[in-house]
A = this chain, B = another copy of it.
């Protein structure tokens, strides 16, 4: 038990984070809830907080005592004060006005602004994506994956994360998937084995990688169906593809995002899993 109960929210947060590992399971539940829903702690009664954490009221008291307070009320007082000091009760219009002002003052170079721009343009890219992708392409891809003995993933450089994600998540829904990752420069050695019973998902964007194009070419030569994720139907990998997803990803200051590509990848995996995959993708998954 702590000797010095934290007297402001920030230090309490840190203290909880530090000691989280050492807490008992129930106290961990409470800890997460306290961190995630500070308002509730201040506003609701013990029993409703308790039921929201799936815990007994007494556990909340134990939690508070574990952090040095004399009781749960003691701790709640802290959160109430925080609410009181955080919102000096200005009117709504006042708050809106202040928010506007703040975002106008931001200098355009700050990281925060980069984040804002990035989030914004990713959002636009996602909205675009769901409009232009043809349902038939998705269904066809799912069928190809289903019929395939093995799914091979090809993608390097900027596209590598997408390929890696696909390899990881497909194998987690119990679809045999291999990443042609070119470790030790073995991409071509890895791809001789492609056959008509497999499927290749190749991901590549301008300027197209020779490696990935070679895999696509090998797939064509060996009769393996190809699903292409690319920025143009004219790209080297799209040429002989059974399905081609033409993805326009967001671009901020010359940096292209991967959001839309990742979104398509995830959609493929989930659609596959939903239709054919193992029902339980993960074990030990904690729910809130």
Contact = CB atoms under 8 A, between A and B. Distances in A.
A104 interface: no
A147 interface: no
A24 interface: no
Contacts of A252: 266, 270
B259 A281 contact: no
Contact of A87 (B83, B93, B168, B287): B83
Interface in A102-131: 109-112, 114-116, 118-120, 122-123, 126-127, 129-130
Given A89-B39, A112-B135, A233-B35, A169 B123 contact: no
A141 B270 CA distance: 34
Given A255-B169, A269-B255, A119 B127 contact: yes
Contact of A126 (B16, B44, B123): B123
A72 interface: no
Contact of A115 (B28, B112, B267): B267
A80 B234 contact: no
Closest A-B pairs by Cβ, 5 of them: A161-B161, A111-B138, A112-B135, A111-B271, A20-B234
A73 to B, nearest CB: 11
28 contacts: A13-B233, A16-B233, A17-B234, A36-B93, A43-B80, A83-B83, A87-B87, A110-B135, A112-B139, A114-B267, A114-B270, A115-B138, A115-B263, A115-B264, A118-B263, A119-B126, A119-B129, A120-B130, A123-B126, A165-B258, A207-B285, A253-B270, A253-B274, A256-B287, A256-B288, A257-B266, A259-B262, A259-B263
